């Protein structure tokens, strides 16, 4: 699938809610000013919505590890001089923007529709080679994980990143299957998983294992933790960070990150008086995670598991 043919596939998730939150960075007007960041540009849907509200003097930096996503966004938004495309992870944002320089950041941590349509093994609903790399130059791919990891290592990533209760059985059956020949395609892998669990759990188990492998291949949790800090550091006071997650592992980390910024102090709980001197640096903008509307889920089924959390940076001194 060419970048040109992918342009119409991607629907941005919860874009209206994201825009309302980002616009709070400039409460006196219904426009965005200064520097905005889309840290996971995907098909360019959120970036396009930001550009519609961005002042003529504003600019937006769009990051993605997937070169296909950069190409798609370039085709979609190529005529706008305010956009800067960066083929890199949002965890490296500090290499491109100064501290305290951005008015808003959006991170959509899910797979784009374009990636699900691509033949890289992300989806178990169509047969393709086991790859699952966002960046084709990355060191390992899904084939390497499935065919070279030990049973114990597979079990651990399935449980940690997929929260799959039948991880030991699935890991053992994958090991047995690959002894007869390498597992090369998403269809082969899905078949092994389905044969490892009761029929009523098949689809959940397949989804969880594919998620776990993708997270492992792309180091998603490590990059999320580094990226949240990096994105927070480049926000100016009053700037807004929005994060859309799609599973509880990511959502818990975002929730914990905001809680730490709201609290400020990192002293041990038993210490009677704060000795660290760290002050609160965040205001919660979403008391609980926002969810897509029933209408959006009907129009875009991939949004059904989305959770949106946001916080505003406040002066910490």
Rounded Cα–Cα distance for residues 62 and 139 (Å): 24
User: SS3 of 59, please?
Assistant: strand
Rounded Cα–Cα distance for residues 151 and 144 (Å): 13
Enumerate residues 6+ apart whose C-beta is below 8 A from 220: 109, 214, 250
Q: In 10 A of CB 100, how many CB atoms?
A: 12
| Residue 64 known to bind ligand | yes
| Residue 44 known to bind ligand | yes
Rounded Cα–Cα distance for residues 187 and 196 (Å): 14
| Residue 90 known to bind ligand | yes
Rounded Cα–Cα distance for residues 257 and 174 (Å): 35
| Residue 108 known to bind ligand | yes
| Residue 45 known to bind ligand | yes
| Residue 28 known to bind ligand | no
CA proximity to 111, closest of 74, 64, 76: 64
Which segments are annotated as binding site? 44-46, 64, 90, 108, 115
Which segments are annotated as binding site for S-adenosyl-L-methionine? 44-46, 64, 90, 108, 115
């Amino acid at each position: 699938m060419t970048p040109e043919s992918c342009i119409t596939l991607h629907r941005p998730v919860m874009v209206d809610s994201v825009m309302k939150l980002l616009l709070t960075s400039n409460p006196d007007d219904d426009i965005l000013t200064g520097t905005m960041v889309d840290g996971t540009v995907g098909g360019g849907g959120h970036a396009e919505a930001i550009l519609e509200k961005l002042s003529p003097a504003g600019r937006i930096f769009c990051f993605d590890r997937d070169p296909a996503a950069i190409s798609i966004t370039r085709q979609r938004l190529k005529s706008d001089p305010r956009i800067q495309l960066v083929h890199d992870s949002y965890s490296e944002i500090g290499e491109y923007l100064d501290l305290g320089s951005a008015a808003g950041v959006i991170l959509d941590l899910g797979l784009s529709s374009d990636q699900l349509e691509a033949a890289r093994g992300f989806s178990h609903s169509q047969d393709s080679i086991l790859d699952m790399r966002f960046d084709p130059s990355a060191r390992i791919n899904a084939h390497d994980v499935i065919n070279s990891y030990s049973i114990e290592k597979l079990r651990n990533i399935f449980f940690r990143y997929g929260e799959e209760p039948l991880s030991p059985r699935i890991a053992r059956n994958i090991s047995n299957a690959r002894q007869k020949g390498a597992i090369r395609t998403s269809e082969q892998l899905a078949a092994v998983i389905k044969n490892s669990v009761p029929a009523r759990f098949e689809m959940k188990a397949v989804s969880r294992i594919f998620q776990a492998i993708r997270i492992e291949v792309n180091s998603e949790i490590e990059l999320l933790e580094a990226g949240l800090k990096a994105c927070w550091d480049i926000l100016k006071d009053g700037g807004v960070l929005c994060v859309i997650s799609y599973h509880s592992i990511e959502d818990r980390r975002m929730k914990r990150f905001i809680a730490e910024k709201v609290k400020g102090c990192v002293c041990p709980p038993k210490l009677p008086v704060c000795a660290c001197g760290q002050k609160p640096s965040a205001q919660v903008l979403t008391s609980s995670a926002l969810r897509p509307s029933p209408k959006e889920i009907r129009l875009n089924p991939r949004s059904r598991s989305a959770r949106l959390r946001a916080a505003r940076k406040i002066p910490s001194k």
